[in-house]
Amino acid sequence: MFDSNQTSTAISRTGISRRRFAQGMAATPFALGAAAKGFRATRAQDKVKLVLLTHWGTQEQKEPLDAILAEYTAANPNVEIEHQTVAFDELLNRISTGQLGGDAPDIYHFYNLWLPDFAASELLSTPPEDVNADITASYAEGTVGGASFNGQAWGYPTEVNDYQLIYNKTMFQEAGIEAPPSTFAELREHAKALTKGSGDNLTQAGIMFLQGWDSGVVHPWTSLLWSNGGQYVADDYSAALFNEQPGIDTLQLQADIISDGSAILSLLEDADFESGRAAMTIMANWWGATLRASDLGIENVGVAPIPHGDGGTSTAVQYEWLWGVSNVSQNAEAAWAFLKWLNGPRDGAADASSPMGDFLTSALNAIPGRTSDQAAHTDVLGDPFVKPFVDAFASARSEPIIPGAQEIKTALQTQIESVWFGQKDAAEALNQAAEEANRILKEKMGS
């Protein structure tokens, strides 16, 4: 049992006052903490520890990447790498809480739409000159643009995705249509010709528009907008431009197809395309894994460029992920050295794949952003389903990396859907979305 008298006696014997004793007791945890920190710092001088945060948490994804990390640490015994993973939905929260709690990982793998917020909050370290030069020289212009904000590339692009028209070959054959639509007019005509039934008895829709998911709504629409000669936002981010005439015409095209009874509005989970209820849709390359696993059969799926409007040229939206280094990392130099190795050709051979290229193509079935990786993996990327997506990168443009991008995208999704559901006309909806976007841009640019 604790005896306060004994303690008092012990204190008086040592000549320490009660106040001093209490102060000492209160300071003990801090002193121990400081000592522990000093101990870690001492160890850190011996070995550099890098903490890596990704959303590749499944066994099929984590194990191959861990093997690559082990390859690096074996060649660099002074480096230790800890690979932390969280689900995609939790990634942004983990980054923000880690930053606030002083437990930030050294290296992040993140969605490029978050770049403006990260850059504005000084979350990321600027790449050193050699890394910057490597990024600029080794990736397509659109891909470098997707990893840049305010003219600065912030990290190594990894997985890149773009959108194309995906169609059911058998349905096209049955309808006697020889080629996929290449213009807006053909898109509407083909959708009509491919539709079977109507209303409650619709058994086959000409085209599936994804609803209820911001990227599923906005990315295909933006691809059509750009292919109609329109713009999303001004180059200086001062105002939204998607509500100009090309945007209104693009949304009107979708509204017309819906009012023709040729479209089905579907959630991604509804699997309407995979189960043969829709003949066309506009979707990203990563969806190929789902199509391969479906009863539809990947050989029955065709891929074609985004149809264009009068005077426009087919332009796909692309988005990407990138590696960045935390601005508060104590080991930023080691982190960039590791990332340069991870994303550079093996053994310095210019035509060899990078370790990251190997990982992306084998473990994720994804398209690597580095052009030398794309050339080194033609066996995988030459697949009939994948190749059109790879080819489209030559003219693809990055999803606008603008301040408040996520918020603007959500506002635009809501307004596009309001037209699909007949609540508003195209001009009214896009003007409302633009008003919201301009307010967000003004706020973010002003802050």
Partner 1 sequence: MGAMTATDRAIVRPGREHTRRRVNRRVLAGYGFVMPAVILLVFFALGPFLFTIWVSIHSWNMLTPVAEMPFEGLTNYRYLVNDDPLFRETFGNTIYFAVGNVGVSVVLALGVALILNGQVKLRAFWRAAFFMPYVTAPVAIAIVWRNILDSNWGMLNGLLDRVGLPQQPFLDSLEQAMPSVIGVAIWHGVGYYMIIFLAGLQAIPHDLYEAARLDGAGAWKLFWSITLPLLRPTLLFVIVVNTLASLQVFDLPFVLTDGGPVNETNTLVMYMYDTAFRFLRMGRATAMAVMLFAVIFVMTMIQLRLLREKE
Judged by the rule CB under 8 A, the positions of this chain that interact with partner 1 are 92-93, 95-97, 99-100, 117-118, 121-123, 200, 211-213, 264-266, 270, 272, 277, 404, 406-407, 410, 414, 417-418, 421, 423, 439, 447
Q: How far is the CB of 43 from partner 1 (least distance, A)?
A: 27
CB 49 within 8 A of CB 73: no
Cβ proximity to partner 1: between 20 and 43 the closer is: 20
Is the Cβ of residue 129 or residue 269 nearer to partner 1 in the bound state? 269
Residue 218 Cα distances to 201, 213, 232, 388, angstroms: 28, 9, 11, 21
Tokens representing 255? Answer: 């509204």
Look up tokens 């066996």; give the residue.
Answer: 379
CA neighbours closer than 13 Å in the CB half-sphere of residue 216: 14
- Print burial letters for 108-142: b (CB count within 10 Å at least 16), e (below 16): bbbbbbbbbbbbeeebbbbbeeebeebbeebbbeb
Question: What gap in Å lies between CA 60 and CA 163, rounded to an integer?
Answer: 25
Maximum separation of any 2 CA atoms in the chain, in Å: 103
Cα-Cα-Cα-Cα dihedral sign, residues 215, 220, 224, 229: positive
Q: Is the Cβ of residue 77 or residue 102 nearer to partner 1 in the bound state? A: 102
* C-alpha–C-alpha distance, residues 217 and 413, integer Å: 6
- Distance between CA atoms of 357 and 345, rounded to whole angstroms? 9
Helices (H) and strands (E) in the chain, counts: 19, 13
The least CB distance from residue 325 to partner 1, in Å, is 15
Provide the minimum distance between the beta carbon of 433 and partner 1 in the complex, in angstroms, as a whole number: 12
Separation CA 142–CA 146 (nearest Å): 6
Q: Between residues 256 and 407, which has the closer beta carbon with respect to partner 1?
A: 407
- Residues 6+ away with beta carbon under 8 Å from 11: 17, 18, 21
Smaller CB distance to partner 1: residue 84 or 93? 93
**CA-CA distance, 85 to 56, in Å (whole number)?**
6
3-state secondary structure of 148: strand
The CB-of-380 to partner 1 minimum distance in angstroms stands at 33
Give min distance, CB of 305 to partner 1, in A. Answer: 29
Q: Whose Cβ is closer to partner 1: residue 48's or residue 264's?
A: 264
Q: How far is the CB of 279 from partner 1 (least distance, A)?
A: 15
Shortest distance, position 74 Cβ to partner 1, whole Å:
35
Nearer to partner 1, 46 or 200 (CB): 200
Nearer Cβ to partner 1, position 99 or 374?
99
Cβ proximity to partner 1: between 367 and 430 the closer is 430
Closer Cβ to partner 1, 162 or 436, answer by number: 436
Least distance in Å: CB of 200 to partner 1? 5
Half-sphere exposure of 248 (CA within 13 A, CB side): 12
Taking the complex as a whole, the smallest distance from the CB of residue 412 to partner 1 amounts, in Å, to 13
DSSP 186-200: HHHHHHHHT-BS-GG
Tell me the closest approach of the beta carbon of residue 114 to partner 1, in angstroms: 9
